[in-house]
């Protein structure tokens, strides 16, 4: 028997509700219906009065969570899609993000963003917004790629006294599985992990792009090219030391993300390595993002729009020929 990425998210919420009476979940259709993706399925029955349907107003959802957290609660806000969080942007960045700086009072809020693309989802249900929110101080941005991280990082997000944007990737919900949930909960936000050691090039990535990176590394291994894959896990704070240590071993850096290129996480990774580790590089650092256009509906166009294992392989070959 296995557990999916989506089930890990559900189980983490159930555990948090069970262990802390101040935790509750608030979002659109999350009660009896169980949410757009069923991340709260059956939780309303198990925890009466603590899995609450909200109005169709992301602004009101986040605003009410801010008020509740000021009264000692630890709300989890579920957005139906990350894209819709733009309607709560003012509350997220101007109020939740800035509140501790202005008042010295913590706001322990977790905002779950079903992030990234799925085949056929189109431009309003596929956006990767982690870079947008990472721009603003006061917010922690988590981007789990594995079942273990989906579980551990969500429990850590709920336990933290800071507002957290928890960017769960929709493509991974039922595609990524593990044999069981982790027995020990480990809190490690801000710490990247080496998912595959290598000596020829450092590939930094996160969320669903991790699996394209690992597939590319497997393909390149047939050519004798040894790729090291770093999974950021949390994009803010960013684990610069782990990235620099890897580049020191390999001399080459490729950053891969499903987000848009302008002002993105990839750009921040490259800027930090260029500033702190320029002497470590044997070639110009490069990045692969999705195309700088709205996200297409057609599954074939969507696949061509974002980075893939094939495009990563092509880019690595070009870099190593420099």
User: pLDDT per residue over 280-313, tens digit each?
Assistant: 999 999 999 999 999 999 999 999 999 999 999 9
CA distance 131 to 262: 9
Per-residue confidence (pLDDT) for residue 183, from 0 to 100 = 83
Q: Which two tokens stand for residue 203?
A: 């590939």
Q: Which helix (H) or strand (E) holds 215?
A: helix 209-221
Q: Which residues contact 49 (CB under 8 A, 6 or more apart)?
A: none
Per-residue confidence (pLDDT) for residue 7, from 0 to 100 = 98
Which strands form 51-53's sheet, in the order they lie side by side?
51-53, 23-27, 74-78, 110-115, 164-169, 140-142, 234-236
Q: Which helix (H) or strand (E) holds 218?
A: helix 209-221
The three-state secondary structure class of 134 is helix
Let me know: does 227 contact 217? Beta carbons within 8 Å. Answer: yes
Per-residue confidence (pLDDT) for residue 184, from 0 to 100 = 82
Q: Which residues contact 207 (CB under 8 A, 6 or more apart)?
A: 115, 116, 128, 130, 143, 144, 145, 167, 169, 172, 257, 258
Per-residue confidence (pLDDT) for residue 207, from 0 to 100 = 98
By residue count, the chain amounts to 322
- Burial class, 16, CB count within 10 angstroms (exposed 0-12 / middle 13-18 / buried 19+): buried
Topology annotation, domain 193-320: Rossmann fold (3.40.50)
Let me know: does 10 contact 41? Beta carbons within 8 Å. Answer: yes
Residue with tokens 């998210």: 9
Q: Which two tokens stand for residue 265?
A: 């996480």
Which strands form 193-196's sheet, in the order they lie side by side?
193-196, 227-231, 201-205, 253-256, 286-288
**In the chain, ranges of CATH 3.40.50.920 domains:** 193-320
Report, as ranges of residue numbers, the positions in the chain whose pLDDT lies below 50.
Answer: none
CA distance 266 to 295: 19
Pick from 166, 160, 173, 231: nearest CA to 202: 231
Per-residue confidence (pLDDT) for residue 225, from 0 to 100 = 98
Residue with tokens 């801000």: 190
**In the chain, ranges of CATH 3.40.50.970 domains:** 3-178
Tell me which residues are annotated as active site: 125
Per-residue confidence (pLDDT) for residue 72, from 0 to 100 = 97
Write out pLDDT tens, residues 160-186: 999 999 999 999 999 999 999 988 888
Domain at 3-178, CATH from 3.20.20.70, 3.30.465.10, 3.40.50.970, 3.60.21.10: 3.40.50.970
Q: Which helix (H) or strand (E) holds 234?
A: strand 234-236
What dihedral angle (degrees, nearest 10) is formed by the CA atoms of 29, 34, 40, 41?
170
């Amino acid at each position: 028997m296995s557990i999916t990425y989506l089930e890990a998210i559900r189980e983490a919420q159930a555990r948090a509700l069970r262990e802390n009476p101040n935790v509750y979940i608030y979002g659109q259709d999350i009660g009896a219906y169980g949410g757009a993706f069923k991340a709260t399925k059956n939780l309303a029955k198990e925890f009466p009065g603590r899995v609450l349907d909200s109005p169709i107003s992301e602004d009101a959802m986040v605003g009410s969570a801010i008020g509740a957290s000021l009264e000692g609660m630890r709300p989890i806000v579920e957005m139906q899609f990350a894209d819709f969080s733009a309607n709560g942007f003012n509350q997220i960045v101007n109020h939740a993000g800035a509140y501790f700086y202005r008042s010295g009072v913590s706001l322990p809020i977790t905002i779950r963003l079903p992030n990234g693309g799925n085949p056929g989802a189109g431009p309003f249900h596929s956006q990767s917004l982690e870079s947008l929110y990472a721009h603003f101080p006061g917010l922690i941005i988590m981007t789990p790629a594995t079942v273990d991280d989906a579980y551990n990082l969500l429990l850590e997000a709920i336990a933290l006294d800071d507002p957290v944007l928890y960017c769960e990737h929709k493509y991974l919900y039922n595609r990524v599985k593990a044999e069981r949930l982790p027995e020990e909960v480990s809190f490690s936000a801000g710490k990247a992990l080496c998912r595959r050691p290598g000596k020829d090039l450092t590939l930094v990535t996160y969320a669903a792009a991790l699996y394209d990176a690992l597939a590319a590394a497997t393909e390149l291994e047939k050519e004798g090219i040894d790729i090291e894959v770093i999974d950021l896990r949390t994009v803010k704070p960013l684990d610069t030391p782990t990235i620099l240590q890897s580049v020191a071993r390999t001399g080459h850096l490729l950053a891969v993300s499903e987000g848009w290129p302008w002002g993105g996480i990839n750009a921040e990774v490259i800027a930090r390595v260029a500033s702190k580790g320029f002497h470590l590089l044997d070639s110009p650092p490069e990045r692969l993002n999705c195309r700088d256009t709205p996200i297409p509906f057609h599954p074939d166009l969507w696949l061509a729009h974002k980075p893939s294992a094939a495009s990563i392989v092509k880019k690595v070959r070009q870099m190593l020929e420099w």
